[in-house]
Amino acid sequence: AERATLAEQLDARRRLVEATAAGFRLSEARYKGGVDSYLGLLDAQRALYGAELDLIGVRLSEAANRVALYKALGGGWQ
């Protein structure tokens, strides 16, 4: 059950990273075009990094879950 939840979370976090990356690219273009301030660009970059960190955290949870499942099924014993 937890693996299904983690799969949903991974999918949601990937979409969030894609959306914030698009927002960052837009903010960068606006800054280069002189329409937006550097603060707006930095804020978009901060949001992107935060989303990427969240995705990494969910990936770490998924990997830990797989290891726990492997150990619970008796894997790794010699």
Which residue in this structure is represented by tokens 């879950």?
Answer: 65
Using a 10 angstrom Cβ sphere, with 0-12 exposed, 13-18 middle and 19 or more buried, the burial of residue 41 is middle
Q: Which two tokens stand for residue 50?
A: 């935060």
Output the pLDDT for position 6. Answer: 86
pTM for the predicted model, two decimal places: 0.82
> Could you tell me the pLDDT band of residue 77, with boundaries at 50, 70 and 90?
low
DSSP state for residue 35 in the 8-state scheme: S
Residue 78 pLDDT: 58
pLDDT band at 1; cut points 50, 70, 90: low
Amino acid code (one letter) for 22: A
CB neighbour list of residue 69: distance below 8 Å, 6 or more residues apart: 3
Query: Tell me: the pLDDT tens digits for 42-72?
Result: 999 999 999 999 999 999 999 998 888 888 8
